[in-house]
Structure 1
Amino acid sequence: MSGLLALLDDVAAIAKVAAASVDDVAAAAAKAGAKAAGVVIDDAAVTPKYVTGFSPKRELPIIWRISLGSLRNKIIILLPALLLLQTFLPAAITPLLMLGGAYLCFEGAEKVFHALFPHADAEVTADMDPKDPARLEEEKIAGAIKTDFILSGEIMTIALSVIEEPNIWMQGTVLAVVGIAITVAVYGAVALIVKMDDIGLHLAAEGRLGATRSLGRGLVKGMPVLLRVLSVVGTAAMLWVGGNIVLHGLEVTHLWAWPYETIHHIAENVAAAVGQAQGFVAWAVTAALDGVAGLIIGTALIPVATRIIAPLWRAVTGKGKAAGH
């Protein structure tokens, strides 16, 4: 009997440890996901453009294939690669974060530049030319998965940077939870956004009540506004997150701590002067100044990317040469 009681006690102890581990994973995943929220917003804002112009019947299958590609990016490629880096070359994590942050700044600044100074883009014009629908779908999916890889890399690297648990298995579990949860959340939201106008049309045409039909018409009219808002929010999130990552990296690596420390000093002073909701005010000021810094960094990178990196990339890969003939 005493042996049975001892066994039950051991089982209970194991169950407590397991429950604590689950709680630790959930807490770490929530913290990591919150840290990566800015990139997640941009991911959700960017993806709907890849299904515009297709038959409504193809929208969900396309999103499903992109989401599978996103999971493959996060779980099969990025997760083990980041864990190997964390184990054998942890000093590379911060430079990788800064590189991804610089890319986000560039993308955000380019969107602002195109909004302020719209001009024809040869690649965009080429995309508008009539193509075989199946080939166009494959190209759009491939492009979306490539874009997702960059954003997923930033999300997973940010998540890894805030995991305090030194155990590699716990780190891997948290990264897997974050990767799966964010993918489901982002592409679930994208699917809902993309199909919202269809839902609105159905309600407007089939709704039994006047209020239901009015709701349907409102959804149809509101979708372009929502997509524009998402685009603006996504761009702001890119600049805010990218600027914060680059400045924090400069501070952590002791290359140039002044910008990061100055922004936090200004935020603290403004919050103290306001006196109300100081935590929120400090966060808002910090995010705004990080966004301004991100815009400055991204604007400086535009000529570097377009005049140096892009020609080198075309020379190495051979892409774009045919267009000139």
Structure 2
Amino acid sequence: MAGSSLLALIDDIATILDDVAAMSKVAAKKTAGVLGDDLALNAQQVAGVQADRELPVVWAVAKGSMINKAILVPAALAISYFAPWAITPLLMLGGAYLCFEGFEKIAHKFLHSQAEDDQHHKELLDANQSVDLVAMEKDKIKGAVRTDFILSAEIIVIALGTVAAATFMQQVTVLVGIAVVMTIGVYGLVGAIVKMDDAGLYLTKRAGAGVQALGRVLLAAAPKLMKFLSVAGTVAMFMVGGGILTHGIPGAHDLIHHAAEAAGSVGGVGPLLAAVTPSVLDAIGGVIAGAIVLAVVTIGGKLLSAVKR
């Protein structure tokens, strides 16, 4: 009897693990798009620090990401149980912040001349470098962790939606598994990207023409990749933030769906247009939302300053 009970228990555990594995696979597929945005954003955020500090910065952000998810997983489970109506508004606040952050970067680029940026860079070099570099590094980490919090929230909510009908323990297992895998995957790749130039330099000093050629390719590709990720990271802010907002605004998601269907009917390139239309419209919505939020924040800040005087 005891033996059969043990076997039954093992069988139940195996069944649960199979269910969890299947649900985790579905959740991972649904969050894969956000993973790509997360990768682009975080590689952009940690770029620009000293070479010997790149991996420590990535590690610091990765630890911040795990703390984010340690907060978000129980919070998402609690909110989904006690106040499921609050998930969408909270996500929309995060989406609006991402759009604001992205538009602020664009505004800075167009509102500040190259001469002003060069002067600011010169001031940093002329100042106490150790203090400035430490401060810059801390700002990089804080900014990356803030961005990660919003992207992690979306990943957790998407994953939670795929296991909404499962038992509580299965939900916990899937969410924790997704959180760990996503963090390791994103920051492992970010670490590899930011050290690509060092890897290329190492290979150029090794024996073998083929190895040296590969090293030169990596050295040449590294700055181009970082520049691409800088642009892709900003675009991703608008796509992710705008996507969150359009999903939360009644009717907006349906309009985008109909637009994608209409684009899909175009001869020849229809399937391609249908695939990219939602992302393009999400990004446009994100740019508009970012401009509005930046205007509100700027005007609000000036009014607050005037009142304090």
Which TM class, normalised by the smaller chain length?
0.7 to 0.9
For 1:64, give the aligned amino acid: W
Aligned twin of 2:84 = 90
SS in 2 for 1:207: coil
Q: Please tell me whether the aligned partners of residues 31 and 162 of structure 1 are also in contact (alpha carbons under 8 angstroms).
A: no
1:110 aligns with 2:104: yes
- Deviation, 1:268, is 0.5
**CA shift for structure 1 position 285:** 1.3
Are 1:38 and 1:238, in contact at CA under 8 Å, matched by a contact in 2? no
Counterpart Cα distance in 1 of 2:303 and 2:44: 25
Q: Report matched runs for 1:1-325 at 5 Å.
A: 3=1, 6-7=4-5, 10-11=8-9, 13-34=11-32, 36-37=34-35, 39-49=37-47, 52-54=48-50, 56-75=51-70, 77-119=71-113, 120=116, 129-132=127-130, 135-136=134-135, 137-138=137-138, 140-204=140-204, 206-251=205-250, 257=251, 259-274=252-267, 278=271, 280-308=272-300
Once the two structures are superposed, what CA deviation does each residue of 1:83-122 show, in whole Å capped at 9, x if it has no partner? 111111110001011111112222222333334444457x
List per-residue Cα deviations over 1:297-319 (Å, max 9, x = no partner): 2122211123326986x99xxxx
Identity within the alignment, % = 38
Residue identity opposite 1:46 in structure 2: Q
Structure 1 residues 183 and 21: CA distance shift in structure 2, 3 A: same
Q: TM-score, normalised by structure 1?
A: 0.79
Per-residue CA deviation, residues 177-234 of structure 1 (Å, 9 max, x unaligned), is: 2211111111111111111111111111x22122221221221121111011112222
Contact 1:105 1:243 (C-alpha < 8 Å) held by counterparts? yes
Native 8 Å contact 2:34 2:151 kept in 1: no
Match of 1:159, SS?
helix
Q: Is the 8 A contact 2:65 2:149 kept in 1?
A: yes
What 5-or-longer segments of structure 2 have no aligned partner? none
Question: Using a 3 Å threshold, how does the CA distance of structure 1 residues 274 and 97 change in structure 2: closer, same or farther?
Answer: farther
CA shift in 2, pair 1:41/1:139, >3 Å: closer
Q: 1:17 to 1:100 in 2, by over 3 A?
A: same
Contact preservation (8 Å) 2:94, 2:150: yes
8 Å Cα contact 1:65/1:141 also seen in 2: yes
Moved more, 222-231 or 10-19: 10-19
**Unmatched tracts of structure 1, length 5 or more:** 252-256, 316-320
Decide whether aligned partners of structure 1 residues 275 and 10 sit closer, same or farther in structure 2, where only a CA change above 3 A counts. Answer: farther
The separation in 2 between residues aligned to 1:12 and 1:159, in whole angstroms, is 27
Paired residue secondary structure (1:274): coil
Structure 2 length-normalised TM: 0.83
Assess if the C-alpha contact under 8 Å between 1:201 and 1:220 holds in 2: yes
The offset of 1:158, in angstroms, is: 3.9
Q: CA deviation at 1:135?
A: 4.0
- Structure 2 distance, partners of 1:142, 1:290, is 26
Residue 242 of structure 1 deviates from its aligned partner by: 1.6
Aligned residues between the structures: 300
